[in-house]
Amino acid sequence: MARYMRTVAFALMIILTALPWHAAQAQVIEKKVLSSKAARKIVSAAEAEVERNNWPGVIAVVDDAGWLILIERMDYAVLLAAVELAPGKAWMAALLRKPSQALEDAINKGRVAATTSPFIEMKDGLPILLDVQVVGAIRVSADTLDHDVQIANAGLAVFIE
C-alpha cells in the first residue's frame, strides 16, 4: 500500500509541476528558425549556380528578422559594394515578408513616398519560406539583377527539397 501511495504521490507531483509550464506554453508562439546549416546549404547551391555561369558576386542569407546568418564574397566579385547591398536587400525581404521587387514595383508605379523608407528598394531580395512562414531571406549581388534572381532561386531550390 505504501508503494502504491508513493507512486500516486509521484504521479500527482509530475502533473502539478507540468501545469504552470503548460499555462506558460499557451502564452507563446512556436516559430521555425533557419539554421546556419540550412544557410550554408542555400549558399552552396547558389555558389554552384554562380560557378556554372561564371557570375561571381556576394551571397547573403539572413534570418526572419533580417539578421545576417551567412555572407559569402566570392573571388572576383564584380561589385565590392555588394558586401553592404546584399545583406541590406535580404534584410528588406525578410522584414517585408515578400520579395524586394514588390517595393521597387510600388515606387515605379508612383508610390514615391516609399523612396524614403530605410529599405534598399531593389529587385532580387527573396524571402525563404517554410510552409507559409518566412524563416529568412537570400540576396545575391553578381552582375545583373536577373542573374542575381536566378542564383538566389538556385539556392532556394535546395531549401525546399
Q: Output the pLDDT for position 122.
A: 64
Q: Output the pLDDT for position 12.
A: 57
Residue 138: CATH number of its domain:
3.30.450.150
The average pLDDT across 129-140 equals 91
Burial bucket for residue 138 (CB in 10 Å: 0-12, 13-18, 19+) = buried
Structural domain includes residue 44? yes
Structural domain includes residue 20? no
Q: Output the pLDDT for position 20.
A: 63
Structural domain includes residue 23? no
59-91 pLDDT tens trace: 999 999 999 999 999 888 877 778 888 888 788
Structural domain includes residue 120? yes
Structural domain includes residue 12? no
Largest CA-CA distance found in the chain, in angstroms, rounded: 81
Return the C-alpha cell found at 103: 517595393
Is the pLDDT at 112 greater than 80? The verdict is: no
Structural domain includes residue 147? yes
Range of the domain at 50: 36-160
Structural domain includes residue 62? yes
Structural domain includes residue 145? yes
Is the pLDDT at 33 greater than 80? The verdict is: yes
Structural domain tally of the chain?
Answer: 1
1-28 pLDDT tens trace: 666 667 766 665 666 566 565 666 677 7
User: Residue 97: which pLDDT band, with cuts at 50, 70 and 90?
Assistant: confident
